Amino acid sequence: MEEFLQQLTNGLAVGGIYALIALGYTMVYGVLKLINFAHGDLFTYGAYLGLTLLTSLALTDRVGFALGVLVLVLMVMGLVAILGAILERAAYRPLRESPRLSAVVSALGASIFLQNTLMLIYGARFQVYPDDILPAATLDIFGLYVPLMRVLIVLASVAMMIALYLFIQKTRIGTAIRAAAIDQGAARLMGIDVNRVILLVFLLGPALGGAAGLMVGLYYGQVNFTMGWVYGMKAFTAAILGGIGNIPGAMVGGLLLGVIEALGAAYVSIAWKDAIAFCVLILILIVRPTGLLGERVADKI
């Protein structure tokens, strides 16, 4: 039971990270009907930028752990959001009217480009987060000792998800995003600047992805320039699992996938851990391509 609960909390933490990345995929897919293959790499940028800022600014030494990490998260989110906007301008906007294959290939190209830029800057080896930044405390929750970082990740990711959900559902701008996702042409006729909505989506998604990258760096302590595509694929699986284009779906899918993967690794086989997500992906696309919370879409997938 003890081990099961440990795996469950671990799965929730990893799942929260997947969910944050999945939100970026699902929002872009909702508005542009495009799989943003470079999204996973923006996540990696979050992890690397976090590392660089952490070591060069020494924020946590100056203002203490809690405030330092908070400032760090905001800085990383802002920087990665800017990167996301640049990506949209450079790789996707010129192809807005092109066939789907062109945009997909451009997205893949962008992914390869971003990943290798990172490799040329930082080198191909694993980069290690300093381990004295964070208090290695554990929290006692009804007799279950859970690392503090794990709890923080779950709380932070859930908080961000709720904030995003409220933003999308309750504000005027959020309504514009939803309108553009349903019908771009009609949204334009209603006076919504679709280009700005798309830009906004490419700011929000990467910001969340960048925060997820920083969380992975803090949680596992090491980052690699290729990790973006594994996390990206899993987050995409999470988005499909919940129903792509559906924001609560991405959250549910992410948490579910994290738990499935953690339990699968613990009780089935650790060596096949990475294959579990892909099996889930294939199964869900065969059995229920609209995902768990996806509504029936008219066009066939």
Partner 1 sequence: MNRFKPFVVALLAGLLPFAPLFLNTYQVDVLNSIGLYALLALSLNLILGEAGLFNMGHAAFYAMGAYTAAILNTRYQIPILWTLPLSGLAAGLFALAVARPVVHLRGDYLLIVTIGVGEIVRIALVNDVFGITGGANGIFGISRPRLFGWVIRRPEEFFYLIWGFVALTIFLFLRLKQSRFGRALNYLREDEVAAEGSGINTAYYKLAAFGLGAAWAGMAGTLFAAKMTIISPESFSFWESVVLFMIVILGGAGSIPGVLLAAFLVVGLPELFREFAGARMLVFGLVMMVMMVIRPQGLLPTRGRRFSLAARVKETGR
Query: Applying CB under 8 A, which residues contact partner 1?
Result: 34-35, 90-91, 94-95, 98-106, 108-117, 119-120, 229, 233, 236, 240, 269, 271-272, 274-275, 278-279, 281-282, 285-286, 289, 299-301
- Minimum CB separation of residue 278 from partner 1 in Å reads 4
The amino acid at 247? I
Q: With the C-alpha atoms ordered 127, 11, 205, 58, is the resulting torsion angle positive or negative?
A: negative
The amino acid at 44? T
Q: Give the nearer residue to partner 1 in terms of CB position, either 5 or 112.
A: 112
Q: Give the nearer residue to partner 1 in terms of CB position, either 141 or 268.
A: 268
Q: With the C-alpha atoms ordered 60, 63, 68, 74, is the resulting torsion angle positive or negative?
A: negative
Q: Give the nearer residue to partner 1 in terms of CB position, either 127 or 157.
A: 127
- Our CA angle for 100, 103, 104, nearest 5°, is 85
Give the H or E element holding residue 127. strand 127-128
- Minimum CB separation of residue 269 from partner 1 in Å reads 8
- Minimum CB separation of residue 227 from partner 1 in Å reads 13
> How far apart, in whole angstroms, are the C-alpha atoms of residue 251 and residue 160?
10
Q: Give the nearer residue to partner 1 in terms of CB position, either 217 or 291.
A: 291
301 DSSP assignment: -
Residues in the chain: 301
Residue whose C-alpha is closest to residue 133's, from 67, 79, 74, 76: 67
- Minimum CB separation of residue 190 from partner 1 in Å reads 28
- Minimum CB separation of residue 108 from partner 1 in Å reads 6
Q: Give the nearer residue to partner 1 in terms of CB position, either 189 or 301.
A: 301
Alpha helix stretches (DSSP H) within 88-143: 100-122
- Minimum CB separation of residue 21 from partner 1 in Å reads 15
- Contact by Cβ (8 Å): 246, 291: yes
Q: Give the nearer residue to partner 1 in terms of CB position, either 32 or 176.
A: 32
